[in-house]
Structure 1
């Protein structure tokens, strides 16, 4: 009898072990998605920069960082809409910050999910949003100076939608927050575009968002469903505000100004930006625009402020990743850090993001797949924000709900295939741009000449000279590629479509 019991025990044990292993293999991965507003593709581990992002650098040590990641639209709401739907813009309304507020929030639920988060939710994921994932600062639809509403910007994507506005009381007040509890609206824009607050990390809204995320991770650890946790950090969006300790990381005198601080040659000013978003902070020391170049001292100060704000967000990312590890969740959690677009820090004589130049379209993207050993790989292939949707659903083992414009990055991450057609499309200012491994070709649908711009990134990576007129054959060869990205947004040069 003892031998029989021993034999049965061993059989039962082996079956249990196999079932556990199978269950572990079948369980869908959790997803931690961190969106960081205005985060350029300039991080410490990219090299050749003074910016200090040690926590993102540590994440990158076991992940893939995409140095040539490009957003579809260089403005917050439209960029996020393209990323969340996996689709490039097809109508001018889709270039607006308010596309999700105007159309997503009032749409009835149907077979086509509103976002990949909605699709994950339909396929067994518990979805939680904290902070700015869509365009609204807290996920609800209301104007800057209105009370918070109960109308969600994405009505079907979230099981839970959380935000702590603290002393600022509303999400939009928190988005433009200063350390004393005031905000850009309450001060009628009579504020500086920067601040070194004598506060700790909880003295600004991103610190409160991070604390919510830490608490939610502890709750999610004990549930049966896989989770999607989206965390949206505000900084380094304007105003460039952060605790003084992050300013103290830098010596302002040694921060270099933009290597290309003047307007590019052979372009219309219609392609550029008067930096109105930046200059609406009325107490700025200077108001640089297309007529006035910022002084070297002020350019250094603003870059210092941006770097400090980015370092503050980096610290919040570090807290979240540390908690993920402490809870033993990192072994089955995909981590994505995404910047919703770039930002000109004086490049092309611009302080802002609303252009079709490299600085506005290129942003940070880091992807870590659990269980895959990486050694700080910098991936230089051309990729787009619309690629995130198919990448995540492939990793989650979920079928695509419709034909997406993006392509999964999984083969590239796993180094089993390299994209054949490395192209990225951008849309704004009545223009379309396409970037491949050497050139950026841009066509504008307007009357102001020139309407064609060509930048040779092999010889001019800073996009200082439009060489379209000198290279008609290259333009002709690239134009069919650009037209592939014309999704019907513009029908002809003078169209108001």
Structure 2
């Protein structure tokens, strides 16, 4: 009898275990199936010209309807005013200058022990697709990141239709090229009804654009391209409904940075950084949305917040290395006080700038104030609006608000009250009434630079050389190696010749580089000892130091002894060294005549940025107007 009782009890226990197992499996499946799909609809080069954001001219009924069912974020900001660096932040949740991805189309190295956003999602069972554009400014294999990436990538391609997905669809038609090129513009707008197309003169101009027919025409193209975007969004949302996924998918719409127009894209003003963002959360997930449907919020959002937010929505732990915060979900930290942004090499021109913004004020720090507000850059200069600005400045007929932007140097700092001065026209940095605000914003910038280990002051060629030397990304180098960051900052940001003379032969090559650069920027002549030190640097082991020394000699009228160095570095095996040499030769103008033939040969450089700078230098030297891609 005892054995029978034991057997019966064992059977009951086994049945109970089986039932519990079934419940657990069911719960796991239910948990998996209950996770939201996440859809990003992104567009390029667009500021907040949408009906739902208050623009009365643009035709965007679909996006406006999406906003009525979601939440509009009026203070969403890119981390950079150009696509590749901004997209590196989006996909990693980290500021681009902390991972060596800050220069346009550079070849940064992401730490091997860290992961891109989709990799975390794929490990958790999500199907991750990216339709068309990546451009992460890092060396990577797309299929290590995504299940699919390309024009055919789609959530429809997943075998298990119950599998949750993360999908990104990117619209190309608002890119600056579709504004500057009539042919490209028409390819995106040809199917739009004529009655919704705006005509030249019906679109408002920024206060610093000259009011000319060609400027009005291009601004109208830009607005009509946005109408084409509206149709694109409509198609994707209809696909979502047709697949029965509308009630299971969180939709986030945003642009990758500001409008593809001069003094917008590539600039740290709100015109280049502020983007429209709309979040639509289905009813079943409304607990994940901290606002009411149809609401408008001025909460500050950074592109570094997108990755943490998606992980939070998917119920995953946010890695500590991510530098953003989740702004959707149930487990939210306190809201931001500031957002941060950076500009470094834009196409072929270096000009390190940093910005900090809260809800009322914008602070901009110019690390290279001796450079013009608007350096000549091949791509924007080919656009008709930039041509109109240059022409208007030459003829003295540009709007007063644009004159500041034509200056050949910049202030060290700018401060704007963006609530009352949304076009950022009045610099308050020297206004004593805003001293406390300036100090606060300056402090926020300094603390952020230290916190993320901003690599901006490490010249690009040296940065890449260090990565090869230490066999690790700059992110790790700045945290694991003995880099004299404080001294680098002191010398790079200094303005006293005595400081540069003191450190010109420092053991660290970055310090030597900035000391030689500082002498070129600030010295009026060279005493015997400094001249001797500069001559020594012409034989420095570091190519960038040699170039900086040669530049200083050229500026101070000793170009004869420096020209061989620049000529030699222009054909270096290192592409960023070649670019640096080309930039100096372009900067010194007529003094570069002795190396004209070498410049001409460099027009065929594999690095298109080198070719662009060389072409500009030759145009100046020869009075030509040749064009390169």
> TM-score, length-normalised on structure 2?
0.55
Alignment match, 2:238: 322
Matched, 1:295 2:211: yes
Contact persistence 1:255–1:303 (CA under 8 A): no
Q: Which runs of 5+ in 1 are unaligned?
A: 1-14, 142-150, 164-211, 262-292
Aligned equivalent of 2:251: 335
Q: Distance in 2 between matches of 1:446 and 1:253?
A: 38
Match for 1:90 among 97, 104, 117? Answer: 97
1:33 aligned onto 2:33: no
1:477 equivalenced with 2:395 (yes/no): no
Alpha carbons 1:247, 1:308 under 8 Å: kept: no
Q: Which residue of 1 aligns with 2:534?
A: none
CA distance in 2 between partners of 1:229 and 1:298 (Å): 38
1:422 corresponds in structure 2 to 337
Structure 1 position 18, deviation (Å): 11
Q: Distance in 2 between matches of 1:478 and 1:103?
A: 29
User: In the alignment, does 2:308 pair up with 1:390?
Assistant: yes
2:356: which partner in 1? Answer: 434
SS in 1 for 2:224: helix
2:178 equivalent in structure 1: 239
CA distance in structure 2 between the aligned counterparts of 1:427 and 1:234, rounded to whole angstroms: 24
Q: Higher mean Cα deviation, 452-461 or 484-493?
A: 484-493
Shift of 1:319: 0.8
Q: 2:268: which partner in 1?
A: 356
> For 1:16 and 1:54, how far apart are their aligned partners in 2?
48
* Max Rg structure: 2
Q: 3-state SS of the aligned residue for 2:173?
A: coil
Question: Within 2, Cα distance between the matches of 1:307 and 1:368?
Answer: 24
SS at match of 1:103: coil
Given candidates 255, 259, 274, the residue that maps to 2:202 is: 255
Q: CA deviation at 1:351?
A: 5.5
More strand by share: 1
Matched-pair contact (CA < 8 Å) for 1:383–1:422: no
For residues 249-297 of structure 1, give each alpha carbon's deviation from its aligned partner in whole angstroms, at most 9, with x where no partner exists: 1332552332422xxxxxxxxxxxxxxxxxxxxxxxxxxxxxxx54333
Partner SS, residue 335 of structure 1: strand
Q: Give the CA deviation at 1:244.
A: 3.0
CA contact (8 A) 1:217 1:324 kept: no
Partner of 1:116: 117
Aligned to 2:493: 493
Q: By how many angstroms is 1:79 displaced? A: 0.3
Is the CA contact (8 Å cut-off) linking 2:142 and 2:149 kept in structure 1?
A: no
1:14-33 deviation per Cα after TM superposition (whole angstroms, max 9, x unaligned): x9999878744442221212
- Displacement after TM superposition at 1:219 (Å): 3.9
Task: Judging by fraction of residues, say which structure has more helix.
Answer: 2
Aligned length: 378
Alpha carbon RMSD of aligned pairs, Å? 3.1
Is the CA contact (8 Å cut-off) linking 1:134 and 1:153 kept in structure 2?
no
Residue number in structure 1 paired with 2:147: 159
Paired with 2:189 and 2:173, the residues of 1 have a C-alpha distance of: 12
Equivalent residue in structure 2 for 1:103, among 108, 122, 132: 108
Instruction: Name the SS of the counterpart of 1:239 in structure 2.
Output: helix
CA distance in 1, matches of 2:69, 2:339: 26
* 1:168 alignment partner in structure 2: none
2:325 alignment partner in structure 1: 407
Report how far residue 358 of structure 1 moved: 0.6
CA distance in 2, matches of 1:154, 1:493: 38
Distance in 2, Cα, partners of 1:437 & 1:313: 29
Matched-pair contact (CA < 8 Å) for 1:117–1:158: yes
User: For the residues of structure 2 that align with 1:130 and 1:337, how far apart are their CA atoms?
Assistant: 14
Partners of 1:362 and 1:469 in 2: CA distance? 25
1:201 is matched with: none
SS of corresponding position for 1:58: helix
Q: Distance in 1 between matches of 2:26 and 2:297?
A: 36
Higher relative contact order (CA 8 A, sep 6+): 1
